[in-house]
Amino acid sequence: MFKKTSFILLFSAGLFSIHAQQTIPFRITKHNNIIVKTLVNKKDSLDLMFQIAMEDASISPERQRKADHIIFSQEISEKNTVRIGKLNIDNVRFFDNELTGQEADGKIGTGMFAGKTFKIDYDNNRFEIYDRQPDLKGYQPIMLLNDKGAFYIAADNVIDGKQQQEAYFLLQSGYPGGLLYSNKFAEEKGLNEKLKITGEKTLKNSSGKSIITKQGILPFFKLGNSVLKDVSAGFFAGDMKTQTVNYFGADMMRRFNWIFDADRKTAYIKPSKYFSEPYYKVK
């Protein structure tokens, strides 16, 4: 009897370890940014924006809350603790004076999920952290290119209604809009002539050089087996052309639920409740 009971307990414990997970609630701002409430070094309560394009954390010079217990040396602070819900993270590196999204005091990256599979669940406004791979029913795999903690995905762009143009996009949850093309891609594909332009804004720097931002509509965008229509797409023109990579922004990310495997070589996506929502208007 004792052996049978022990076996049942061990079997149950094994099942629990397969499905064990931690859940971290978040909120989404009207600018599509993910905000998590944190307690840093057991003293500073900060709202941090989740930035998938970084591993560490940072504090904004425009923060609304005090961060007096993060001690910086040459704008870097090592070995901090961060608590998010029931998750405790040690040895977090913070950078000082980095701008962040609206409503946030700073940023926190994917280091809080180090070595774990994690899910961004836009349907339920939460992260889920797994010890092992969760149920992937209904999800499709897409390859990740991991460049020092920054994640790139490949997708097809139908620009002129005929030919698909494959491009790599950096997952960039800090950019509130949809797609933002690199200067090279915009010029090579003639986006200024081929896209329907819906908005334009000109800025000048201290040297009088102009930065022109344009917003257009991409007819079709294909990620895996999912096709989005009339996607909001931006690009730069003018004298200064500093956009070196394509962005897959927060407005695009929220249209899917995401599961990232522990080795960050594969992501699994499934359309979220936001898949067909109107696109964010970049101002």
Length of the chain (residues): 283
| Gap between the Cα atoms of 247 and 180, Å rounded | 5
Domain with CATH 2.40.70.10 in the chain: 17-130, 140-271
CATH superfamily of 17-130: Acid Proteases (2.40.70.10)
pLDDT by residue, tens only, the chain of 283 residues: 334 433 333 333 333 334 547 999 999 999 999 999 999 999 999 999 999 999 999 999 999 999 999 999 999 999 999 999 889 999 999 999 999 999 999 999 999 999 999 999 999 999 999 988 899 999 999 999 999 999 999 999 999 877 688 999 999 999 999 999 999 999 999 999 999 999 988 876 656 677 888 999 999 999 999 999 999 999 988 776 788 999 999 999 999 999 999 999 999 999 999 999 999 988 7
Compute CA distances 87 → 28, 82, 94, 118, whole Å.
Answer: 20, 8, 18, 13
Class of domain 140-271: mainly beta
* 171's tokens: 């997952």
Q: How many helices (H) and strands (E) does the chain have?
A: 4, 21
